[in-house]
Structure 1
């Protein structure tokens, strides 16, 4: 008798569950059911391209206030002039420690960004030279277009050049973060001694 009641209770429960599933699934076909965290897809924030009544000009994407600097941005307060180049050459020193890891990282970055022009060993024999472009000077034997031997370039002069570019070399400020530039400079100093 007890076993029969258990089967009756389980059978009734199963029928009730099946009936509730059928009834709730046949209601509104457009309904997705209960909403879980609706603010995940119905956010109250304005999209950048939406009009926004909170600002006088009605735009959501506003210009940042004058003089503000993005979080994590490091300024380089030397102008893109010959004087700025010379001043950076005297005052700017690498903040990174001379470690094997930094040198290895610098080598990888140099091979990706610099070797197409400067060559794998910094001799100015990269792939672009093989396609008819003028060769950059060798790091160990060449002369800088700004005067002096390439092997005597300081941290600041190389950083200034990577940041602003010179002659046919464009700026790499958008491709290399400041710490990456310092790693490349560490590797260039290695190539200056070859």
Structure 2
């Protein structure tokens, strides 16, 4: 009987000792791991916890993540847009730009395909073929373009788009040591450049500049281009605004020059009844869909 007690005590002590650990950060062996040791809490780290099954090939350091941001999952809806399956109402028609002859259709998630590759020959082709800015010049759009330019472009190209950004201009920043001179977007070369040259650069980047297709939406890219054109016009002594465009008529259409279309839109919105969604998910009567949506 005493032997049995001794065996039980010895086994119990052995289990207790085995469950302990000299590592103060470890709880030792656990029958059921605590929720505090969730694998998600150690994401992108390797072997911080014995039950974390990350391997070296599937982990990334913070430095790698900051230098090489991964693209969003295919089909991700950009912020500020809503996915819409059907154009089921006049209100949605106005939002999607389908009730105005001067408007253009935008896909429900605010994204439009781009069929030019990231190489020099495609860059030249896009420069030659992409001429018109599909959005009219408006004060609201110009304001949005200015805001986005300040966020994504101004740090290198400068507030005036003259290439003297904070990272490069020693007068504005005594510690500026950026060796590559950013492009002077208000120079004669860029004043004469087509809209396609700017759009392609925004999509893929150029030289040390990275692409911004994953950061700003289709419409936002064009509003940034409008704002750059306004800076070019100011440099050249012209006007590029919602009221008039004396800089270059090929670069943008002033929104104020479309009053008839604006009035027509208002009339349609007042008179149009609610549309019933089609049974099979096809276009509603009178609705036209176009695949010609790349610029």
Establish whether TM, by shorter chain, passes 0.5. Answer: yes
Residue of structure 1 equivalent to 2:203: 163
Which of the residues 163, 171, 174 maps onto 1:124? 163
Residue of structure 1 equivalent to 2:212: 172
CA RMSD of aligned residues (A): 1.6
Larger radius of gyration: 1
Residue of structure 1 equivalent to 2:113: 75
Equivalent-residue separation in structure 1 for 2:122 and 2:186 (angstroms) = 24
SS of match in other structure, 1:191:
helix
Residue of structure 1 equivalent to 2:126: 88
Matched, 1:138 2:184: yes
Equivalent-residue separation in structure 2 for 1:110 and 1:166 (angstroms) = 16
TM-score by length of 1: 0.58
Instruction: List runs of 5+ in structure 1 lacking aligned partners.
Output: 1-68, 143-148
Runs of 4+ in 1 over 3 A off after TM superposition: none
Deviation of the 1:123 alpha carbon: 0.7
Deviation of the 1:97 alpha carbon: 1.1
The superposition leaves residues 31-81 of structure 1 with CA deviations (integer Å, 9 ceiling, x where unpaired) of: xxxxxxxxxxxxxxxxxxxxxxxxxxxxxxxxxxxxxx7363311101112
Deviation of the 1:178 alpha carbon: 1.1
Equivalent-residue separation in structure 2 for 1:191 and 1:83 (angstroms) = 28
Deviation of the 1:137 alpha carbon: 2.2
Higher helix share: 1
